[in-house]
Structure formats: structure tokens, C-alpha cells
Amino acid sequence: MITNLSIKEYLEIIRNIPTLDVRSPLEYEHAHIPGAINLSLLNNEERKIIGTTYKNSGNQSAVIQGYQLVGPKFSQYIESALKISPDKIINVYCWRGGLRSNIMAFILHTAGFKVNLLIGGYKAFRNWTSDSLSEERKIKIIGGKTGSGKTLIIEQLRKMEEQVINLESLANHRGSAFGSMGQSAQVSNEQFENLLVMEWKDLNSSKTLWLENESRTIGSNVIPLPIFNQMQKAITFDVQIPLEERVNYIVKEYGCFNYTELANNTSKLQKRLGNLRLNQALDFLSNGLIREWSILMLEYYDKTYIYGNSKRELGTVIPMVFDKLNVEEMTIKILQWEKQND
């Protein structure tokens, strides 16, 4: 049986039933519905061939050639689908819910599969993503200068069953010139949005959503403007701890990296640091003076943070002063303030 489902119906079942993305590997690698498995009807080269045939000879010729290419592989598709879903229930989509997904659905249907076909395909998912990420949420921000433990507080809030989205985790980047260090490669911006919306859609809009203070770009990924605008207007808890505590944190986070990695990333800041401070920073690194390097870097990032905070609306920045970086204690006090003043 083949069932055509709207995007709303599709999303209600997507986490319980395996999903096949039957687009080409290149399309899938660029971006896809999170959790979907690529089972391409046409590989990259075959898709290019069909496109050329369609352009030169029209739709009918392209369809005939398509069947010539995929026909010998019917058994492979069925065998692969059985490994993915032994109980023979599966979701399928292509770019627009057209020929590729319908052919795959037909093949699997004839093999006894119950197939759920996404109406409008991946394009429908992307349209829904854009609409969903424009919805309002009750956002509050964990802010603070570099090394204040903002990400640790976000994860502590998660442990305490608060609503949290870790934007830096989704982006595989810690949001600075050094943010890519120790991280896997970033996904495309489109895929970043796809990952974000799958968390965004499950939020309770009446409850607080905690986000870390970010600039709009996190490495190569960009926070969608509707969300970033909400973040800029939200109450921000400005976590303040002594400089020595922050230096200790930075040394712990980045002291494990070698000179070349740190030097290359430090050099990215040449225009902002100026030659004098850049050379000083590189000298510190070459001599193994990681604490001195950390202090110099914090001086730069502190100015950036103070400037960013100055652009927030009056009364939205709440100072939260602590003697040391004690994540559990800091998180509890922030929650206490939030509950008393909500």
C-alpha cells in the first residue's frame, strides 16, 4: 500500500518509521531531513544523464532512459530497504515528491512494503522549516564573557530538564576564531536549519527556551533571522566570574591543542588584533605561555562582548555575579532569578 502524506502527517511518524531519501548522493550530502537514509534511485552521474536527455529530448525520453538505468537495480533497492526496515514499513521522499519517489514507492510496494510518500517531497519540508523557524518562543539567553562557562550552563539546564537548544553543538562550532578546533566538519547551512527545526518543533511555546548568547554566524552556519531577532530582544543573564577563573577555563579548553593549530587560528584575527598584539600572541604560543596567550585573547573578546551587550535593549541584561566557575550553583541561581521574576 502507498499512502500520500502531508508534511504535518509525515512529521508525526518520521521518528518511528525509517525514512528513505531517494535523491542523488550529492543532494543528500548537501542537506536532508534529519534521520533519513540515502537510497538513491539515480546516482550523481545518472541524474546528470537524465537531466541532459530531458533538456535535449523531452520528458518522455528522459522517463524511458530513467527506467533503463534503474530497472536492473530493482532487486538492490528492495534488498537495501529490507535491511533498513525488516517489518516493511517505510517513508520515502525525493526533491518534489515526483517521479523518483513514486518509482521507488512502486518498487517497494510490489515487494510488499507499506510506503508513506511525502507530498511535495523535500521541498515541502524546507517550506515547513522556514515557516516553523519564524514562530515565537519564550527565549532567555545565557550570556557572559568568553570563558564564563556559558555552554556548561546550557548543558546543566538540559540535565535539569529545562528546554534547551545548543546551537554550537548543532553547528559543530564554538563560535569564535577557535571554534572549529576539536570539532567535526560543519554541515551546510541548510542542514543546520534542518537540524535546528527538528528540535524547535518539539518545544513547548509556553515554557522558557534557553539559548547561549551568539553572534548571528557560528562558523559558516547562520542563525535564521527570525530566531536571531528574538534572541536580541530576550532577557540575557550576564554571567560574571573572576578573570582568573576564565583563564583557567580557556587553558583547560585550548591548552591541549598544538602550537600550529592555535597559531593558525590566532592569525585569523590579524586585522582585529593588529600586528603588534598578534605578534605578541604568537610569541606567547611559541614559548608555551598558554596562560599569557589566553589573557591576551580574552582582552580582545571582552571588548567584542561588551560592544554586543551595549546594543541590547535597556533593562534586558541581568548581571549574575559569581566568585568561581561552579556550574551547578550558577545554574540554580539563574533559575531562581528567572522563576522569581518571570
Distance CA 132, CA 195 (A): 12
Q: Is 94 noted as a catalytic residue in this protein?
A: yes
Contacts of 186 (CB under 8 A, 6+ apart): 171, 172, 173, 180, 192, 219, 220, 221
* SS3 assignment, position 221: strand
DSSP state of 94: -
> Among 268, 276, 249, which Cα is nearest to 330's?
249
Please tell me which residue in 94, 167, 177, 290 is annotated as part of the active site. 94
| H or E, element range at 81 | helix 74-84
Give the start-end residues of each E strand in the chain. 2-5, 19-21, 37-38, 89-93, 114-118, 138-144, 163-164, 208-212, 217-218, 221-222, 235-240, 317-321
Q: Give the catalytic positions in this structure.
A: 94
